[in-house]
Amino acid sequence: MLIDTHVHLNAEQYNEDLEEVIERAQAEGVKTMVVVGFDTETITRAIELAEKYPFLYASVGWHPVDAIDMTDEDLKWLEELASHPKVVALGEMGLDYHWDKSPKDIQKEVFRKQIALAKKVKLPIIIHNREATQDVMDILKEEGAEEVGGIMHCFSGSEEIAKECMKMNFYISFGGPVTFKNAKNVKEVAAQIPLDRLLVETDCPYLTPHPFRGKRNEPAYVKLVAEEIAALKDVPFEKIAEITTANAKKLFGID
Ligand SMILES: [Zn+2]
Ligand SMILES: [Zn+2]
């Protein structure tokens, strides 16, 4: 069994064939998935899906790219949703300096507000970081994110940064890029992460693993990620599946 800790089955890319996508995941042993919402529309849909399917859970938050759109009412809405029985985390939240839709100072403010909320409602957080590592680390420290911990999603940083994150109570989650032929750094870092801090994800429909790179991603492919990590760590696949599943259940408080 595997848990895909980061899926966007709430994306329009699955409007046509969601049932088949879910069936293929289940057939590959991907029994549980966390649907991540990041704006009004995708949060609403994540909740709908989590209410419809017993094996789907939701994480709700405001993506840094869309930080500029988050209002005080939205933050209140997140707080209400936090007590929903299928909401297991807040996020994805963080900083993304690749796109310039939301200015950096607004991204930082929205990130800080969501960490504060997570501490209030006692839920772990899912962190999105793109080209903003130092600022993400500073804010996590300054806001005391250690109190709730969570996931560094689709991790691509150095081993030093991974260690700092683990010290702050975070799990390190790897996605499709760890399978890419040219992803030497990510592979080296993944090999070093202790089993009890490791998670797997797809971030589907994006970041499709090798050999399907370039096509739409889906949760069934999280198996390819787990297989790659098993090979890198020279540990049986079953062990990786078992431990990452236990880690995810513990973090999200699900069984
Ligand atoms: Zn992300
Ligand atoms: Zn995502």
Task: Single out the residue of 41, 76, 82 nearest to residue 60, CA to CA.
Answer: 82
Taking the centre of ligand 1 as the mean of its atom positions, its distance from the CA of residue 59, in whole angstroms, is 12
Residues 6+ positions from 118 with CB-CB distance below 8 Å? 90, 124, 125, 145, 148, 150
pTM: 0.98
Q: Tell me the ligand closest to 11's alpha carbon.
A: 2
Taking the centre of ligand 2 as the mean of its atom positions, its distance from the CA of residue 163, in whole angstroms, is 22
Taking the centre of ligand 1 as the mean of its atom positions, its distance from the CA of residue 153, in whole angstroms, is 7
Query: What tokens were used for 96?
Result: 């993304």
CB 136 within 8 A of CB 94: yes
Taking the centre of ligand 1 as the mean of its atom positions, its distance from the CA of residue 6, in whole angstroms, is 9
Taking the centre of ligand 2 as the mean of its atom positions, its distance from the CA of residue 24, in whole angstroms, is 20
Query: What tokens were used for 188?
Result: 């080296």
Q: What is the pLDDT along the chain (255 residues), one digit of tens a residue?
A: 999 999 999 999 999 999 999 999 999 999 999 999 999 999 999 999 999 999 999 999 999 999 999 999 999 999 999 999 999 999 999 999 999 899 999 999 999 999 999 999 999 999 999 999 999 999 999 999 999 999 999 999 999 999 999 999 999 999 999 999 999 999 999 999 999 999 999 999 999 999 999 999 999 999 999 999 999 999 999 999 999 999 999 999 998
Q: Tell me the ligand closest to 34's alpha carbon.
A: 2
Taking the centre of ligand 1 as the mean of its atom positions, its distance from the CA of residue 36, in whole angstroms, is 9
Taking the centre of ligand 1 as the mean of its atom positions, its distance from the CA of residue 92, in whole angstroms, is 6
Query: What tokens were used for 195?
Result: 């089993």
* Residue 155: CA count within 13 A, CB half-sphere: 34
Q: Tell me the ligand closest to 46's alpha carbon.
A: 2
Task: Single out the residue of 114, 144, 116, 142 nearest to residue 127, CA to CA.
Answer: 114
